[in-house]
Amino acid sequence: MAGEGGMSFFRRGWSAATFSAALIVVAACGREPAATEIVEPLPAPSYGEEEENPEVFLDSMEVGSRELYAAREAVLAAAKIPPGARVADIGAGTGLYSLLFANAVGPAGVVYAVDIEPRFLKLINQRTADLDVGNVVSVLGRDDDVTLPPSYVDVVFIADTYHYFSDRAAIMRSIHEALAPDGRLIILDYTLDETHKDDPRRAHVRFGKAGLVNEVQSFGFKLVDEPSVPGLKDIYMFVFERV
């Protein structure tokens, strides 16, 4: 989903081991290799170097997200985030929705922008500092854990991210633990049916709406709503409650 809204390496499924391996190669490239040493070339950076061009993240991932960006205000309204709430934006990416939620919850609330890619957390910190937003907390997650305290957040928001989880059972278990007893889980994902089966743009989507509902409910959640969101055509929105 390169260019899809807010997507991060969390959604691409990059692991810490993969990132570390890349760093090792960078270190090796800084010296002359031994005759018996093979140094693999590094791939081109997916989103450029943020020190030189931080706007590339916003241009390619946020504005380029089409529906998720264009319908952001309608999504926010459908999410019904109350003032004072504690919200976790899982796979926060560029922080598009984290910033919207920060305004909705107000000074009495807090938004946890969770991602496993430090560059995105750095970008979110930069944006919140530039905008003088003081109620967004960047959280470094893991492949199998959102790293939030138990029964701590009122709302968990997952947009264009669920299908990228490499260990959905573990991640959903940690989300279930992090939600308050009456907490809500909001998932936005791409539709997948017979009309999309040969569409390469849906190759990353694992299953259709019924499959997602069945799986999420098996992790201890109950579907309570499917809001109709103006501006969303290829993306649906589900609201679950923790049970």
Overall number of domains in the chain: 1
Q: What is the pLDDT of residue 205?
A: 56
Q: What is the pLDDT of residue 110?
A: 98
Q: What is the pLDDT of residue 220?
A: 97
Specify if 41 maps to a domain: no
Q: Rounded CA gap, 199 and 98, in Å?
A: 30
Specify if 8 maps to a domain: no
Specify if 21 maps to a domain: no
Q: What is the pLDDT of residue 134?
A: 97
Q: 226: domain CATH number?
A: 3.40.50.150
Do residues 202 and 190 lie in contact, with contact meaning Cβ atoms separated by under 8 Å?
A: yes
Do residues 22 and 150 lie in contact, with contact meaning Cβ atoms separated by under 8 Å?
A: no
Q: Rounded CA gap, 98 and 77, in Å?
A: 14
Q: What is the pLDDT of residue 193?
A: 57
Specify if 22 maps to a domain: no
Specify if 131 maps to a domain: yes
pLDDT, one tens digit for every residue, the chain (243 residues) = 333 344 453 444 433 443 333 333 333 444 443 444 343 433 433 434 444 444 545 554 544 457 899 999 999 999 999 999 999 999 999 999 999 999 999 999 999 999 999 999 999 999 999 999 999 999 999 999 999 999 999 999 999 889 889 899 999 999 999 999 999 999 998 876 555 555 555 455 567 788 899 999 999 999 999 999 999 988 999 999 999
Q: What is the pLDDT of residue 142?
A: 95
Q: Rounded CA gap, 73 and 190, in Å?
A: 18
Burial grade of 129 (CB within 10 A; 0-12, 13-18, 19 or more)? exposed
Q: What is the pLDDT of residue 86?
A: 98
Specify if 168 maps to a domain: yes
Specify if 15 maps to a domain: no
Domain containing 74 equals 58-242
Specify if 175 maps to a domain: yes
Give the containing element (helix H, strand E) for 63.
none
Give the containing element (helix H, strand E) for 154.
strand 153-159
